[in-house]
Structure 1
Amino acid sequence: METGKERFHSISSQSCFLHLDHCYNLTIVPVYVDDILVVGNDVSQVSHFKSVISNHFKTKDLGPLKYFIGLEVVRSPSGIFLNQQKYAPDILDDSGQLGSHPAPFPMEQNLKLNDTDGDLLPDPTPYRQLVGRLIYLTITRPDIVFAMNILSQFMHAPRIPHMTAATRALRYIKGTLGQGIFFSSSCDLHVNAYIDSNWANCPTTRRSTTGFFITLGSSPIS
């Protein structure tokens, strides 16, 4: 997308455009169908982009971000809270687990899932859809990332134990709908990384499994 002598270009995604000028003012424009976010570190450049785009397309400025493709943004003087409290109940409802009893954690401790135990699911589609939707939930739920990493390994041929584990993850989500990620406005900008590994832990490949957690100050980013 070109605006005069300036150019917005995607470097790694066909739905995310970036512009960096010679003063290192950055504008980022994620696009999803007809929904667009405009963020940047220079207000005048953001306003310029919105002006240019409105001259070429019929647009409506909804103001500060509150909700975007299942992601809710709540601002306060102490920081920004991201959550998916509207998206998660939809998963529970579509899966018939809206009235289920909450589970205290997303996956049984020491559970070893593999691709041979248990009968194959007659129809793998519900499992694939469920795990895919739960993976999207990990945007604001790092507490279920490990479970989703395990469950996503069996998308090609899911079995009954895999669906049982996925259902337990749903029951955990039922009891933690208010969970999300908080980005403090007062934290420092130091990057901290934590990593752990379990030697030869994978029951299928016997490879080691590794996990990591990265924060910017006190805010989780990966």
Structure 2
Amino acid sequence: MVIALATQNCWDLHHIDINNAFLHGYLDEEVYMLPPEGYLKARKDEVCLLKRSLYGLKQASRQWNLEFSDKLVAFGFTQSVHDNCLFVKKDDQSFLALIIYVDDVLITGTSVEEIQSLKKYLNDLFTIKDLGHAKYFLGLEIFRNDAGTHLCQRKYILDLLKDAGVLGCKPASTPLPQGYNVTAQGGAMFADTGRFRRLVGRLLYLNLSRPDISYGVQQLSQFVHAPTQGHWDAAIHLLRYLKGTPSLGLFYPVGQSNKFEGFCDADWATCLLTRKSLTGYCIFYGKSLVSWKTKKQKTVSKSSAEAEYRSMAATVCELQWLCHLSHDLRINVALPVALWCDNKAALHITANPVFHERTKHLDIDCHIVRNQYKAGLIHPQHVSTHHQPADLFTKSLGGPLFRTHLLKLGMCCSTHIPT
């Protein structure tokens, strides 16, 4: 899932890296070490006195998170209950938002003075490296101009192709051939299972900015325990697609509306091994894609309507979370949210659950769709299958339709690469 914290010209993303190796107070035993490279505060012949080295301990991540969270709260930030990595600080004059991943931090806000004050506060407590305006964050390349923000992972993709040994391969037009089903691929077991697992793991991280490969990666990730040669060939085909589109990424234009819009779809009994259905959804904020997922459903659905209804339930849960997160970010969301589905039976059940014999076997949690419809959170509507962008997350499409849905997702190639 991707959320753009700054889509307005008055907000700037700042990237800082915190050196958190010098937290004290966890052990009485004295340990000495030389200051690390880049630590400029130590004078000549000085060493570090550590009461407990933070890195390498089982409780390290928890202790660091508690320490950093307490310091941010003391500065006036509030930790979001919907995402513990998000901290916000708001008053009548300014608004600050901060996201942390271990010791890498993204800061954005409406006041440059407040951002500088926060950086000084953190630098006094810890040693930070101010990387300025965000251009590269955990493999994610960020480019901003007057039109909006572009996210891609070009360098990550090129490194991935180089490590896999396919940097000079012939590009493919789609992640998987049309109608291709990975579960049907048999053949001999792939000899290097570790290589396959590493590749799938890196592709899962690439899905952060590439929703177009979500279906292919989901299919491959089912067989990391015992991949066959057919599965490896499918992975190579996906890499060939990435070879032709290394700069493709998400674009978030400025000046958007305050409306969410969701599209959900299901592929009934698509898994040939378990006959479980596949859920796919994508959610837009204005014209920007902010959330997407491809996931196999937990139980077997007895009809296509039931599979679609479960897909709607998963989408509604995501919409609820996004609405709560928007409230934390001081964004007013227009309700109800349009939820587009291409199955009329599922829409009828939502509006008027009178088909008792067909619906009483559904899990109770699926009726969250009905409850949120009555509460005014969503407004389910029908969309033609040919105009359903969520199809891209549930099946392997042909070239023309695949490219049409890519445009609907707001994906484009960046002409400016920060790295």
Aligned CA distance change for structure 1 residues 5 and 53 (closer, same or farther; 3 Å):
closer
For 2:250, give the aligned amino acid. I
Q: What is the number of equivalent residue pairs in this alignment?
A: 220
Aligned to 2:234: 165
Please give the alpha-carbon distance, in whole angstroms, between the structure 2 residues aligned to 1:187 and 1:62. 28
Please give the alpha-carbon distance, in whole angstroms, between the structure 1 residues aligned to 2:110 and 2:81. 19
Aligned to 2:100: 30
Please give the alpha-carbon distance, in whole angstroms, between the structure 2 residues aligned to 1:100 and 1:158. 22
Aligned to 2:127: 58
* 1:175 paired to 2:258: no
Deviation at 1:9, TM superposition (A): 4.3
Identity of aligned residues (%): 36
Give the TM-score taking structure 1 as reference length: 0.89
1:90-109 matched pairs, under 5 angstroms: 90-109=159-178
Could you tell me whether the CA contact under 8 Å between 1:27 and 1:45 is conserved in 2?
Answer: no
Please give the alpha-carbon distance, in whole angstroms, between the structure 2 residues aligned to 1:49 and 1:177. 36
Please give the alpha-carbon distance, in whole angstroms, between the structure 1 residues aligned to 2:75 and 2:138. 32
Give the TM-score taking structure 2 as reference length: 0.49
Deviation at 1:131, TM superposition (A): 0.8
Please give the alpha-carbon distance, in whole angstroms, between the structure 2 residues aligned to 1:62 and 1:54. 13
Runs (5+) with no aligned partner, structure 1: none
Deviation at 1:63, TM superposition (A): 1.4
Deviation at 1:103, TM superposition (A): 0.6
Q: Secondary structure at the match of 2:172?
A: coil
* 1:83 paired to 2:152: yes
1:1-222 matched pairs, under 5 angstroms: 1-3=70-72, 4=74, 6=76, 9=79, 11=81, 16-21=85-90, 25-33=95-103, 35-41=104-110, 43-114=112-183, 117-222=186-291
Q: Secondary structure at the match of 2:191?
A: coil
Could you tell me whether the CA contact under 8 Å between 2:96 and 2:115 is conserved in 1?
Answer: no
| Residues 83-114 of structure 1: per-residue CA shift (max 9 Å, x gap) | 11111000000000000000110012222222
Deviation at 1:164, TM superposition (A): 0.7
| Residues 15-67 of structure 1: per-residue CA shift (max 9 Å, x gap) | x241345669452232344x332224554543332121110122232211111
Please give the alpha-carbon distance, in whole angstroms, between the structure 2 residues aligned to 1:42 and 1:153. 46
Runs (5+) with no aligned partner, structure 2: 1-69, 292-419
For 2:162, give the aligned amino acid. D
Aligned to 2:417: none
Please give the alpha-carbon distance, in whole angstroms, between the structure 2 residues aligned to 1:28 and 1:45. 12
RMSD: 2.3
| Residues 132-179 of structure 1: per-residue CA shift (max 9 Å, x gap) | 111111111111011111111111111111111111000000001120
Deviation at 1:68, TM superposition (A): 1.1
